[in-house]
Amino acid sequence: MALRISGSAIGYDTNKAYAVAGYEPLQKRYGIPLIDLKNSSSKKLTHSGCSIDIYEKALETDFLINVPVLKAHCQTRLTCNMKNLKGCIPEKDMRNFHAMGLHKPIASLNALLKTGYCVVDGICGDLSFEEGGTPLTANRVLVGQNPITVDSFCAELIGLKPNDIEYLSIAKRMELGSYFSNETQIVELNTDMKRINSENSERSSRISERYKGLIEENSACSVCYAALIHALHRCGRQPNEKIHIGQGFINKTGKIGVGNCTRGFEKYVLGCPPSAADIIKALL
C-alpha cells in the first residue's frame, strides 16, 4: 500500500500542513493513508559516530520516495533530497542536528535511511532562503535514484558547486553515492512544454524584475531563464554588457549570450539549459 508519510518542521502541525496543501481530497480519491510521523515511535541508530532517532514508520517502508522542493538554504546553502530526510526524525533530533553541526548528521541519516527514488519539485523554488522570499519559477521536475547524484546536479542548477555543500562532500567520502558528472545520463522529457513567451518569462517571479535591465530576452525557455537569474543573484556583481538569452537569437550574433540558442555570439555559455554554475564561471 502506498503511504504519504511526513513529519513537519519544529513547532508546526503535520496534519494542518496536509490540509493546507490539499492532500486530504487526494487521500479520499486514491485511498492513500496520510501518516503524521510525529505520532510514530522511533528507533535509535548510529552511523559514523552520529546517534540518530528515526521514526520506525519511515524505516519500515519497502521503498522510500523522497519528494523535496529545490531551494537554497540559509545554513547549508542547499536543501533538497538529503536534507529533506530530516522530516523522518523527531523534533529533539532536529535540534540535535544543529548542535552536531548539521552536515555530518545529515550525511549519516542518509546512510541509515535509504532513499529509493528522488522526485525533486523544481517548479518554483527559492534563490536564497528555505522559507521563501525570493521565489523563482523554473517549471521543472527532476527525478533520479541516488540522492547524492541528484542533489549535486541540483546544486549546480542554483549556482553552487557540490563541494560547496558540506554534507554532500561528507556523503561522497562515506561512499553513499557519486556526484553528477559528464558521464551521468540525462533524459529530458516534455521539451515542447518548457517554451514560454517573453512576457511570461519576465513575470515568472518577483525576483526576475531585479535583473530585467541586465537581460535581453527573446522567447527564452523558463529553465534557461531561471538558470540565468540564479547566476546573477548568486554572483553579486553585474556584467559589463547585456546578456542575451532565448530562441529569438538563433543564428544571430552579439556580445554575450546564454544557452545553445546564442552560439553565434562572441561569448556564450553552452547548454540547453546551462547550469547557473556554468553561467557564473563563463560570464560573470
Condensed to tens digits (0 to 9), the pLDDT of residues 213-224 reads 899 988 787 678
User: In total, how many domains does the chain have?
Assistant: 3
Task: Report the pLDDT value the prediction gives residue 194, as an integer from 0 to 100.
Answer: 53
Residue 232 scores a pLDDT above 70:
yes
In this prediction, residue 10 has a pLDDT band, given cuts at 50, 70 and 90, of low
Task: Give the per-residue pLDDT at 256.
Answer: 93
Same domain, 35 and 57: no
Confidence of residue 23 (pLDDT cuts 50, 70, 90): confident
3-state helix, strand, coil in the chain (%, to 5): 40, 20, 40
Are 159 and 88 contained in the same domain? yes
130 lies in the same domain as 49: yes
Determine the structural domain holding residue 277 and report its residue range.
194-283
Give yes or no: residues 13 and 54 share one domain. no
The pLDDT of residue 196: 46
Q: Per the domain annotation, does 188 fall within a domain? A: no
State residue 203's pLDDT score: 40
182 falls within a domain: no
| 230-257 mean pLDDT | 87
Same domain as 154, residue 107: yes
Distance CA 150, CA 81 (A): 8
Asked if residue 280 lies in contact with residue 235, where contact means CB atoms within 8 angstroms, the answer is: yes
Residue 261 backbone phi and psi in degrees, to 5: -65, -20
127: phi then psi, degrees, rounded to nearest 5: -75, -30
